Structure 1
Amino acid sequence: MALGLNTGAVGNQLRRAVATAQNGLEVIRLGGLETDVTPSSFQVVDRKPMYRLRRYFPESEPSGPPVVLVPPMMVSADVYDVTRENGAAGILHAEGIDPWVVDFGSPATEEGGWDRTLADHVVAISEAVDTVREHTGRDVHLGGYSQGGMFCYQAAAYRSGRDIASIVTFGAPVDTLAALPLGIPANVATRGAEFLADHVFNRLAVTGWMARTGFQLLDPAKTIKSRIEFLRQLHDRDALLPREQQRRFLAMDGWVAWSGPAVAELLRQFVVHNRMMTGGFAIGGHIVTLAELKVPILAFLGEVDDIGQPLAVRGIRRASPRSEIYETSLRAGHFGLVVGSTAATHTWPVTAEWIRWREGLGPRPHEMATMTYDEHTVSDSGVSVGNRLVHTAASIAEVGVGVGKGIAAAAAGAVRGTREISSEAVRTLPRLARLGQLQPHSQISMGRLLAEQARKAPAGEFFVFDDRVYSYAAVDERIDNVVRGLIAQGVRPAAHVGVLMETRPSALAAVAALSRIGAVAVMLQPGGDTATALRLGRVSVVVVDPDNLANAADLGVRLLVLGGGDSRELAEVDAENVVDLEAVDPSTVTLPGWYEPNPGRSRELAFVLFVGTDRGVEAKFITNYRWALSAFGTASSAGLDDRDTVYCLAPLHHSAGLLVAVGGALAGGSRIALSRGLDPDRFSSEILRYGVTVVSYTWTMMRGILESSALPAPGSHAIRLFIGSGMPTGLWRRTMDTLAPARVLEFYASTEGDIVLANVAGTKVGSKGRPLPGSARVELAAYDPVADKFIEDERGFVRRCEVDEPGLLLGRPGPEVDANNAIMRGVFASGDVWVPTEAMFKRDEGGDFWFLGQKNSVMSTPRGPVHAQPIIDAIGDTAAVDVAVAYGVGEPGEQVAVCAVELRSGASLSARTVSDALGALLPHDRPDLVHVVSRIPIGRSFRPSDSALRESGLPKPGAKTWYLDPASGAYRRFTKAVAAERFAG
């Protein structure tokens, strides 16, 4: 009996060994076991070099709602039909849905496949939607797995939702930096992705085996487990066959190559810049954002998905605030969302229910909920600890790798839970070091900085305008062409050339081309006093755009017309004085021997800007060093880098546009977004569409914008910083409240000398901060603005101001003094040299500077000098006040200090409110009269003007005018009796 049992056992072992050998040989020869499973039938409806569009089950004449399924770049389109019974195509068809699949094929076998870009995939999906819409006559439901889901979001945004009924995604990350695989820290991921995009995938593609291996390495325990389980069951063909198609797909057949350019673009746009969240990603040269998408969305989340982690997937809720978004989760990893038994019983039936519900053909699916997006900590991922432990422990137990996997998971969690050291210094120090190395003879200019960026990243995005993006290489080529046109018209180095153009790409090209030649760009203001500016700027030739050509015809100078786009029309003007630069063929221009690209030296004049003052138009001369100081100073203090998009709200002819926005973006390697002008609706749309992170402003520019109902809600935009100068304190606070969490970085840049102050911390609203590194050394000199003289000490030197004492701002010049600046010697000590400004400041105990106003704005009252800016700041902090100015009325020494305010729409002001607001000032510093006016004039630079109000004299008594009662220190209604008694003279 024992012998019989032993013989039977031996026979079983022998049969098992033979079966294992036979099955193993079949796997070795064929790559797997023959399953006799036939794929679902499909017809290729459209065939393009980029893709083939499959329609499944064409023989059944489907009449249900169409769904177009999109695979990731690295996965075969067969992922939706691994098995007919459990695959997406078969289940959806059985549920009455009309399934279509986009098949990108493999770059390795398609003509031009290795040159494919990310945009090519998105445009292909858009074309597929058009084809399906044409064939079925119905709007299309888009579905995408993993990166295919990202493509669906992008294609829908690219089409502005046209012809798309809904979007369904499966493990598709949107906020790619919120929860990275393996717990990789965000700053490590962005820098690593940037390196790979710029130095690896611009030369190397990802083959199919590399994609397969990379996917398996993301969860090595599960990979080892599945292989050991397969080997253990190799003798049992019946047990293996049900999962053989899925195993072969993952192990061999399911992976395709990625083209290098597509991977590089994916890393650059959606990891480095995270532009699925911020907006502003480029598709076919057009700027796209998810923020304007209004398409219903259903997102599937894997509870143990470490690739498309739930937190990253839920990013769509914040990225697309206007969409109706739902989610449904299942206990599955990344691949299990779309393939396998869980997908067959949950994913695809729920997808079919969703489509029927959206079509009005069935009830809302019970398995889904409205998606929410909660702020998260850096250690959060959206995959719960419990789910991860259960899932991981199950895998570990079966393959015996508990210790290694457990340690790896703990290490990953520790890394994810640790806040990284800020990389601010890494970005800032090289810029400051370069600024510190500049000498009078150093070569530095706008043209040189742009050329450096173009060499570093020719394919990088330089600027955005009218929803189109322009690369450094394209802009650099355009500038070189303009250079040839200008040289052909006799423009040489040091020539003063006017630029009379609206803010547009051709204006930026003109300014950069003049810098490249070494000429001086004299920035003329459209609609301003151009004749005076031409005289002050010593201009004999002007580059003008078609919009300003007619107004420039009578200036008596030669006009070079540039830009205007494809539909340009030139005004009828004197042909002798007009040359169309666009008609000049650059290839026919021979560059002269003297031409040296970007010859500008630090000490040399680069730009002439103009400001309006009470004395009329004044010219401000900007050297290359002064421009570089603003550029590198802005980039350093604002922390600008290639992840930023700087919105140039200020015009190019203004210092906030040319020096701060354009200069700072160039120095930081940031993308520039040019605006056609101040329009609240355009602003609201473009900041979302362009993914704007930094906005430049000047003075009261943000007033009208903050009143727009189209502004995004706080936290639903990417803006982190406003940079500029002159913003009133009340507007400053309203900007931060309305567009939170953005901060304000307020600058003060003197036009005399090289002084740049910046309130980098932003904690002291209204302060101008401290000198930037590289700025001139500054001092406050004791000064009597009424007598217009400095206050000296007992030795005859000028006295330095004490804390909180008003004084005139002075700057220490560099080794080579600018001839345009007034020079003072022997100021604080024998032989010292200083450049005086026109600005009055005080310095607080912390070392921060507070602007008091220009010295000619000081009110000379019987009680002494009264400064305008503290009054404006104090009353401007009142919620009812929109704009305020302060000015003196009367003869010097007898002036009445007056404050005029314009109220916000629907607001009112009371004597009590005025008293409370101005009570923050010492009695000596308060205005004598406060009155409400219907309108305070705003200049072209958005600076409030008091000229007309000052000329009109004292305000009339009335219910909206108050006077300072010296006895109580409060403000009371200004009556005729008070006027006759106190202000009769």
Structure 2
Amino acid sequence: MNQMTKSDLIGLTDVAAKIPQFMTKVPHLITGLKQAYLRTPNTPAGLGLAFEKAVHRNPHGCALVFEDQQYSYLQLNAWANQIAHYYLSIGARKGDVIAVMLENRPELIASVIGLAKIGVTVALVNTAQVAKVLAHSINLVKPIAVIVGEECRQAVADIRQELELTENRLYWFADQNTRTDAGTAPEGFQNLAQCIASFPSFNPATTQSVQGKDGLFYIYTSGTTGLPKAVIFTNSRWTLAYGTYGHVLGLNQDDVMYCTLPLYHATGIVVCWCGVIAGSATFAIRRKYSTSCFWQDVHKFNASAIGYVGELCRYLMDAPASDLERGHRVTKMIGNGMRPNIWSKFKTRFGVQEILELYASSEGNVGFSNVFNFDNTVGFSPTPYAVIQFDKEKNEPVRDAKGKCMKVKKGEVGLLIGKITRRSPFDGYTDPEKNKAVMMQNVFKQGDAYFNTGDLVRDIGFRHAQFVDRLGDTFRWKGENVSTTEVENIVSDYEKIAEAVVYGVEIPHTNGRAGMAAITLNEGCQLDEQDLRQMLVEFKKAMPAYAVPVFLRIQKQMQTTGTFKYQKNTLKTQGFDLKQCDEKILVLLPNQSAYCELTQEIYDNIQQYQYRF
């Protein structure tokens, strides 16, 4: 959210005007906050326990729909219990890790619930990962087993020899309704649907022994070393999300949440789903997002709420008007990244009344949610935080004469930091060294500690903020975090490229930042027509599609600082503006199979939104 108007600032009268609407949420919110804030690290907590309570409240109600499949709370619970009992039988115990790599479908949901009930931490592997990045992600968390869907089997099979996993611990689900047809497992994989068939369907006793301090998920974020980091998401943290986001949404047993977001991300698996569980509502999932099918599905599933990220909203706004986009039950949305320039237009066009924009990171300890339903804000935060002055040129916080950080004034932009307390702990990464890198000590007074989010936000008053930008070595594109170092390593592997510097650049009318790589070529090398195709082929083999650079800037020499650091700020500022760059720029236009030279005509068409990146 880079643009602000005076109307975005929030004052006492603005809050007062929202009180009547807010009061309707209070009973539900109080229930959730009790669960969220009365928890301790040693009390029973988490997804498994909350799901069993939802089963008790609404046993015959619909818990999950996918395509033409439908499962009641009792049916889904029974399936999850069989998975739990099977893994208990082979020795899985609280504290173990099992990696799961399945696209959005019921087998993923059942596996997550079942493993959560026995205290196993589920490593939610990004289904777009391949090659050494995938091997790293799995080995990083030291799993005792891997559960993979047929749709991801080849990617796992390709790196099988690199996995630090004992024999007979690769489990497989067929790419179909495995409750009616288990299918035949390929060589080297055990058919999980067959393995669990004879196991009991009653609740395992272990659910009550899972405590807040126990791990629930490993969620992967982009790493500055070039490979993903695994962030621990505890049951206590899930309970906090459940008690806040889940209950603020205010769903009930008649509601249906439609989610097309990938369930290996926290927005889908935590934020959207915990709202469903809190209200014993229905979770309607789609394997992958589709603009053309979106409103069809909303009507098919009779959805009343949707999960979103900014890109999804932009795609829907870009689509031609359709009769299906009105006359539905959707009044609520929950997610993040809604652009201010389409916020009110989106509500008007699609008849949405409430946009529960939120801010949270997989590893962080500070969160915001738009509980008062203001426009253009990530919302309100009950957790202790500060927005401090930050020098972008020096890439460090501004400090006073005594070495202490200084807060920004209302309306100003600064670095968001979350205070680390018993109620707002920093659970951190698997690597203790990475934890040290994001913790700030003695910020305002001796002995205090804060988590550095790496995000710039604007303080707009009354504990509300606007998201502005992301610092550091990651940027967000297509709703995914992209590691610049990871992409740099892959781009530099191309035989004619000597080195690469990767950064994100803004394209008008899009969310996030598109990848751009400034490259230098090996001595005597030129890029010909074949290279422009072959580079793309190799990039796509080695990294997910969203990480492939959209722009390549060919430099004779990399510009560095006196300490030999690449001058990324200058490159980011110049972007792909031909007037600021006297070097050749290549662009990967939508739906093309090769890079082409960025001409003035193409540049102008990009500015005029003639291409849909």
Is the TM-score greater than 0.5?
Answer: yes
- The answer as to whether partners of 2:233 and 2:363 remain within 8 angstroms in 1 is no
User: Of residues 201, 210, 219 in structure 2, which corresponds to 1:609?
Assistant: 219
Counterpart for residue 71 of structure 2: 470
The reply on whether 1:436 has 2:37 as its aligned counterpart is yes
Counterpart for residue 28 of structure 1: none
Q: Distance in 2 between matches of 1:678 and 1:733?
A: 23
Counterpart for residue 425 of structure 1: 26
Matches within 5 A, 1:636-785: 636-708=247-319, 711-713=322-324, 715-765=326-376, 767-771=377-381, 773=382, 776-785=383-392
Q: Which range moved further: 558-567 or 660-669?
A: 558-567
Q: Distance in 1 between matches of 2:128 and 2:254?
A: 35
Counterpart for residue 833 of structure 1: 449
Superimposed CA distance per residue, residues 487-537 of structure 1 (whole angstroms, 9 cap, x where no aligned partner): 223321111101111211111010011100000000012231321210222
Superimposed CA distance per residue, residues 137-175 of structure 1 (whole angstroms, 9 cap, x where no aligned partner): xxxxxxxxxxxxxxxxxxxxxxxxxxxxxxxxxxxxxxx
Q: 1:780 to 1:590 in 2, by over 3 A?
A: closer
Higher relative contact order (CA 8 A, sep 6+): 2
Q: Distance in 2 between matches of 1:466 and 1:675?
A: 7
The reply on whether 1:793 has 2:403 as its aligned counterpart is no
Q: 1:584 to 1:434 in 2, by over 3 A?
A: same
Q: 1:492 to 1:421 in 2, by over 3 A?
A: closer
The reply on whether 1:849 has 2:453 as its aligned counterpart is no
Counterpart for residue 167 of structure 1: none
Q: CA RMSD in A?
A: 3.9
- The answer as to whether partners of 1:885 and 1:899 remain within 8 angstroms in 2 is no
- The answer as to whether partners of 1:549 and 1:570 remain within 8 angstroms in 2 is no
Aligned partner of 1:812: which letter? Answer: K
Matches within 5 A, 1:188-227: none
Matches within 5 A, 1:478-517: 478-517=79-118
The reply on whether 1:897 has 2:513 as its aligned counterpart is no
Deviation at residue 450 of structure 1 after TM alignment: 0.3
The reply on whether 1:818 has 2:427 as its aligned counterpart is yes
SS in 2 for 1:844: strand
Q: Distance in 1 between matches of 2:148 and 2:244?
A: 31
Counterpart for residue 808 of structure 1: 415
Aligned partner of 2:416: which letter? Answer: L
Q: 1:784 to 1:504 in 2, by over 3 A?
A: same
User: Of residues 220, 225, 243 in structure 2, which corresponds to 1:632?
Assistant: 243
SS in 1 for 2:573: strand
Matches within 5 A, 1:5-44: none
Deviation at residue 421 of structure 1 after TM alignment: 10
Superimposed CA distance per residue, residues 91-150 of structure 1 (whole angstroms, 9 cap, x where no aligned partner): xxxxxxxxxxxxxxxxxxxxxxxxxxxxxxxxxxxxxxxxxxxxxxxxxxxxxxxxxxxx
Q: Distance in 2 between matches of 1:733 and 1:857?
A: 32
Matches within 5 A, 1:295-306: none
SS in 1 for 2:447: coil
Counterpart for residue 539 of structure 2: none
Q: Distance in 2 between matches of 1:656 and 1:597?
A: 24
Q: Distance in 1 between matches of 2:396 and 2:452?
A: 12
Q: 1:892 to 1:587 in 2, by over 3 A?
A: closer
Aligned partner of 1:834: which letter? Answer: Y
- The answer as to whether partners of 1:465 and 1:674 remain within 8 angstroms in 2 is yes
Counterpart for residue 941 of structure 1: none
Q: Distance in 1 between matches of 2:236 and 2:253?
A: 23
- The answer as to whether partners of 1:782 and 1:799 remain within 8 angstroms in 2 is yes
Aligned partner of 1:648: which letter? Answer: C
Deviation at residue 591 of structure 1 after TM alignment: 11
Deviation at residue 540 of structure 1 after TM alignment: 3.7
- The answer as to whether partners of 2:58 and 2:253 remain within 8 angstroms in 1 is no
- The answer as to whether partners of 2:48 and 2:113 remain within 8 angstroms in 1 is yes
5+ long unaligned stretches in structure 1: 1-418, 860-867, 902-910, 912-925, 939-947, 963-970, 972-985
Superimposed CA distance per residue, residues 633-664 of structure 1 (whole angstroms, 9 cap, x where no aligned partner): 22233222333211121121111110111122
The reply on whether 1:958 has 2:572 as its aligned counterpart is no
Count of residues in Structure 1 that have an aligned counterpart in Structure 2? 486
Counterpart for residue 596 of structure 1: 206
Q: Distance in 1 between matches of 2:47 and 2:251?
A: 17
User: Of residues 138, 152, 155 in structure 2, which corresponds to 1:551?
Assistant: 155
Q: Distance in 1 between matches of 2:581 and 2:356?
A: 29
Superimposed CA distance per residue, residues 665-703 of structure 1 (whole angstroms, 9 cap, x where no aligned partner): 112322111212212343222211211011112231244
Q: 1:961 to 1:590 in 2, by over 3 A?
A: closer
Deviation at residue 464 of structure 1 after TM alignment: 1.6
Q: 1:441 to 1:937 in 2, by over 3 A?
A: farther
Bigger Rg, structure 1 or 2:
1
- The answer as to whether partners of 1:696 and 1:724 remain within 8 angstroms in 2 is yes
Q: 1:633 to 1:724 in 2, by over 3 A?
A: same
Q: Distance in 2 between matches of 1:538 and 1:421?
A: 45
- The answer as to whether partners of 1:488 and 1:589 remain within 8 angstroms in 2 is no
Aligned partner of 2:306: which letter? Answer: V
- The answer as to whether partners of 2:384 and 2:419 remain within 8 angstroms in 1 is yes
Aligned partner of 2:371: which letter? Answer: V
- The answer as to whether partners of 1:609 and 1:622 remain within 8 angstroms in 2 is yes
- The answer as to whether partners of 1:631 and 1:665 remain within 8 angstroms in 2 is no
- The answer as to whether partners of 2:426 and 2:451 remain within 8 angstroms in 1 is no
SS in 1 for 2:207: coil
- The answer as to whether partners of 2:82 and 2:199 remain within 8 angstroms in 1 is no
Counterpart for residue 532 of structure 1: 136
Aligned partner of 1:792: which letter? Answer: R
Q: 1:714 to 1:741 in 2, by over 3 A?
A: farther
Q: Distance in 1 between matches of 2:441 and 2:313?
A: 41
Q: 1:886 to 1:799 in 2, by over 3 A?
A: farther
Q: 1:858 to 1:652 in 2, by over 3 A?
A: closer
TM-score normalised to structure 1 length: 0.45
SS in 2 for 1:691: coil
- The answer as to whether partners of 1:785 and 1:858 remain within 8 angstroms in 2 is no
- The answer as to whether partners of 1:885 and 1:900 remain within 8 angstroms in 2 is no
- The answer as to whether partners of 1:546 and 1:569 remain within 8 angstroms in 2 is no
Q: Distance in 2 between matches of 1:741 and 1:471?
A: 28
Counterpart for residue 19 of structure 1: none
- The answer as to whether partners of 2:221 and 2:230 remain within 8 angstroms in 1 is yes
Aligned partner of 2:394: which letter? Answer: A
The reply on whether 1:885 has 2:513 as its aligned counterpart is yes
Q: Distance in 2 between matches of 1:730 and 1:669?
A: 34
SS in 2 for 1:512: helix
TM-score normalised to structure 2 length: 0.70
Q: 1:726 to 1:613 in 2, by over 3 A?
A: farther
User: Of residues 521, 526, 541 in structure 1, which corresponds to 2:145?
Assistant: 541
Aligned partner of 1:546: which letter? Answer: E
Deviation at residue 595 of structure 1 after TM alignment: 5.7
Q: Distance in 2 between matches of 1:723 and 1:464?
A: 19
Q: Which range moved further: 830-839 or 550-559?
A: 550-559
Counterpart for residue 195 of structure 2: 584
Matches within 5 A, 1:153-232: none
Q: 1:805 to 1:641 in 2, by over 3 A?
A: same
Q: Distance in 2 between matches of 1:830 and 1:423?
A: 42
Q: Distance in 1 between matches of 2:330 and 2:279?
A: 17
Matches within 5 A, 1:170-319: none
Q: Distance in 2 between matches of 1:539 and 1:818?
A: 19
More helix by share: 1
- The answer as to whether partners of 1:630 and 1:756 remain within 8 angstroms in 2 is no
